[in-house]
Chain A
């Protein structure tokens, strides 16, 4: 018995210490990044860092010297000086000079950061609990690309039931794709609480404030995938709303953009077709896992009282109309938000049907995406 316990302990300990996740290189310093601004910021950081190191070495050096030489155990007698106007003036003026010298490049960088004019591409970035919505603005509404980007890491990895892969918590389903060497302006806003859009490699961090739009910009010089995270506490899933930007050559960007535009058209068409219940259930499970399970949990039990259970109670086994209504429009004053702008009609139909027929909620009812579409477009 005792031995078994010890064995368990050892297993636990070894599990604790052995990496149960993919190895990732760690760094100790700020990234230099891939924009002119981020490099300026990095060099400012390094300058001020070395200034601090020098000050630190001088001050601590004198202290340590003093601690070594001026100890009572060495039989020294304490001196009795207790002020020196000259010294005090010197160590007031020297810091002022250092600060003035630091302020000059800082001012220049900051001024450059604020100049978002002449952008080639405007992307609206909208924070919502707890994902990002991106809209590539275009004068032709048909060509506008809009999508939601949310965390890809499955909850099994988060809850340690599966091995954590590379880019754990830093992967999204839809990346933001931008061309290199083009000035991209980000128009950052939020629809609920304050978030902050941060990509360290661009030195772009801007708060997303509900009701107001702030701008920031970047000219990325190297193709690559750049990852960031929300940087302002925005509620329960604050740690789980990453940002991924893929910078590519112009041609590849255009190809991607056209692909996205066609995808949107295809969604428009799928909404029109006739769906079977099985198809909706399959699609519904996928949508539920991606969107709803964060709060209502994979088993539909929720986390009452904040996130009610959907199993055998409430709207999921009640009126379908009200059920659809709450998914479309949310419930004021709760975490249940409106999904009409995040999900298309097919996805909403699918998730509603899934919730009404999964986990033993055998309602057996049915609705077609085009009916939802009609409700969304004012038919109802």
Chain B
């Protein structure tokens, strides 16, 4: 054993290491990287916000509307509506597209109707193309900020109020805002059950 210890010691002296300590250090790296995997989730959201990745739009825009409308520029904004699989609602924009001046506050509505014979909760997910435009679309009110609920056969008009930032790059003349409706009835009922417990 003594020879072995000498062998190990000599090289450990040169490298300044000790197995228990180095195992400990390496395990810290492992735990750290596992946590890093989860840290990628918020990090990804930040990157999405900065770059407009996937055309994700920001949360409710609460700053005071200080911008004045730019009457010389017109941007066309196009509305797309989609249902995810298994979502039976009828879902359509009031108008397919509108022309707006950057800086002004605009309003439109989306019509939804629940043809199924059960109450359904829905979540609308927005997405903007081109991605770069996502950061210039400020929504002061949007049905996508909250979950929507319709009882069987009910319908409603859901409002959207937004401003196109007057800083929007010159070369963007059309931007497409898409909403996808997801049926989240099961998801929310599951969460409620957890809360009840």
Give the interface of A toward B (CB within 8 A): 114-119, 122, 124, 126, 128-129, 137-141, 144, 187, 189, 191-192, 209-215, 325, 328-332, 337-338, 340-341, 375-380
Contact = CB atoms under 8 A, between A and B. Distances in A.
Nearest to B95: A139
Contact of A325 (B90, B116, B130): B116
B96 to A, nearest CB: 5
A349 to B, nearest CB: 15
17 contacts: A124-B80, A139-B95, A141-B96, A187-B80, A189-B180, A191-B82, A210-B85, A211-B84, A211-B127, A212-B127, A212-B180, A214-B129, A328-B116, A330-B86, A332-B86, A338-B87, A377-B90
Contact of A187 (B87, B88, B129): B129
Given A191-B84, A192-B84, A380 B153 contact: yes
Nearest to A335: B85
A341 B85 contact: no
A4 B82 CA distance: 61
A210 B54 CA distance: 11
Given A212-B54, A213-B176, A214-B129, A377 B115 contact: yes
B105 interface: no
Contact of B129 (A118, A144, A210, A215): A215
- Secondary structure at the A interface, as helix, strand, loop or mixed, is loop
Nearest to B124: A211
Contacts of B125: 211-212
A328 B127 contact: no
Contact of A328 (B55, B83, B92, B115): B115
B86 A213 contact: no
B173 interface: yes
B183 interface: yes
Nearest to A329: B88
A136 B67 CA distance: 35
Interface residues of B, number: 40
Given A117-B172, A215-B129, A375 B115 contact: yes
Interface in B61-118: 78, 80, 82-88, 90, 92, 95-97, 113-117
B117 A378 contact: no
A124 B129 CA distance: 12
Q: Which 5 A-B pairs have the closest CB atoms?
A: A213-B178, A329-B88, A192-B85, A212-B127, A215-B129
B171 interface: yes
B88 A328 contact: yes
Given A212-B55, A213-B178, A340 B86 contact: no
B155 interface: yes
Given A210-B180, A211-B182, A337-B85, A380 B117 contact: yes
Contacts of A124: 80
Contacts of A331: 86
A186 to B, nearest CB: 10
Contacts of A377: 90, 113, 115
Given A122-B78, A212-B55, A325-B117, A330 B85 contact: yes
Contacts of A192: 84-85
B174 interface: yes
Interface of B: 54-56, 78, 80, 82-88, 90, 92, 95-97, 113-117, 125, 127-130, 152-153, 155, 171-174, 176, 178, 180, 182-183, 186
Contact of A209 (B54, B85, B183): B54
A117 B174 contact: yes
A214 B178 CA distance: 10
Given A325-B117, A329-B86, 19 more contacts: A117-B130, A139-B95, A139-B96, A141-B96, A189-B82, A191-B82, A192-B85, A210-B180, A211-B84, A211-B125, A212-B125, A212-B180, A213-B176, A325-B116, A328-B115, A337-B85, A338-B86, A378-B153, A380-B152
Contacts of A117: 130, 171-174
A338 B89 CA distance: 11
B180 A341 contact: no
B39 to A, nearest CB: 23
A192 B86 CA distance: 9
Most chain B beta-carbon neighbours within 10 Å: one of A119, A140, A141, A338: A338
A62 B178 CA distance: 57
A211 B128 CA distance: 11
Contacts of B180: 189, 191, 210-212
A38 B95 CA distance: 35
A247 B31 CA distance: 56
Most chain B beta-carbon neighbours within 10 Å: one of A118, A210, A212: A212
